[in-house]
Amino acid sequence: MSLFVITLRRVGRRFVSSMPALVGVLVFTFLLMRVLPGDPAVYFASGSNAGQAEIEQVRKQMGLDKPIPEQLVLYLKDVATGKLGNSMTTGQPVLADIKQRLPASLELTFTALLIALFSAVPLGIWAALKAGSFLDHAVRMFCVIGVCVPTFVSGLVLIYVFYYLFGIAPDPTGRLDVFAATAPNITGFLLIDFLIVGDMGGWWAAATQLILPALTMALFVLAPIARITRASMLAALGSDFVRTARSIGLPAWRIVITYALRNALLPVLTILGIVFSTMLGANVLVEKVFSWPGVASYALDSLLASDYAPVQGFVLLMASIFVLVNLLIDILYSISDPRISIE
């Protein structure tokens, strides 16, 4: 049986086994939203001055007049048919709102993850090769600072330094400067869309707006990636096969890249999956600080307004992405170490 078939079967089993977890997340989120304080019908019925008849009409419109078990069954039925309800805040279907805002969050998250990956992995390798040195201690201290400093603090510091003091960064007011050209609506990823239409001026404007929020998120996730890389590299460098490679006179770069790094990749892949899933939900503070129109800030605004449908749709989205990321990590495991699929 080929490696591809084995991997495909394993991914299929993982996907099927994740379905009960997704249903559990749906049910838990639905019940949690119902026990939160506040009445969304009062909020959307023009506040406390609304009459009882108007409040009841809004409650009926939102489906809150039915018993909770019936509401839950109707909600699960709608989700199964691809309906996530309507947002009372925006007046649009939740699916349309998420489709509009998700590319902004994904573009920010992917960019931040790439910055963190290309910074943290070399730092972790370097620290492992210089274990116990001043450089090793400096990298570990940097990782501790990165974990301890909240994202909104680092974001405000970056804005103060690069926008207010030096004036080299654009104003933190979203994905494009107010004076920039209108962005093309093709994929929703501005960097890709501007490249498709050949507008390099617009691409540069979008890239400069993206640098500070992406760097803020990268500083937050750089620490765990660097620490895992360092620990994995130390374990690999102390293994028997590395000592054997050194004893037969192989070049140092080949020992580090081919033997040590490849065997240290599995824990790094694991932390990458966890970090990516965490970033999508945790970048709400970054989106708020930089006025980034992402899906996390959309969910937070809906939660503050007791708008049930967007929050439930956001949690379902995060759970689905978490499952898909874990499936992707399974495939990368198989590529990095085929023995895992055989087992």
Instruction: Show the DSSP H helices in the chain as ranges.
Output: 3-35, 40-44, 52-61, 68-80, 94-129, 134-148, 151-158, 190-197, 200-237, 240-247, 252-254, 262-263, 265-282, 284-289, 295-304, 308-336, 339-342
Predicted local confidence at residue 6, as pLDDT: 65
Q: Are 318 and 277 in contact (CB under 8 A)?
A: yes
Which residues, given as ranges, of the chain have pLDDT below 70? 1-8, 11, 37-51, 180-181, 333-343
How much is the pTM? 0.82
Predicted local confidence at residue 213, as pLDDT: 93
Predicted local confidence at residue 144, as pLDDT: 79
- For a pLDDT cut of 90, what percent of the chain falls above it? 10
Predicted local confidence at residue 111, as pLDDT: 93
Q: Summarize pLDDT for 147-198 with one digit per residue, the tens.
A: 788 888 888 899 999 998 988 888 888 888 777 667 788 888 999 989 998 8
Identify the structural domains of the chain with CATH numbers, from first to last: 1-89+305-343 (no CATH), 100-294 (1.10.3720.10)
Lookup: tokens for 40? 């969304």
- For a pLDDT cut of 70, what percent of the chain falls above it? 88
Q: Of how many residues is the chain composed? A: 343
Predicted local confidence at residue 107, as pLDDT: 92
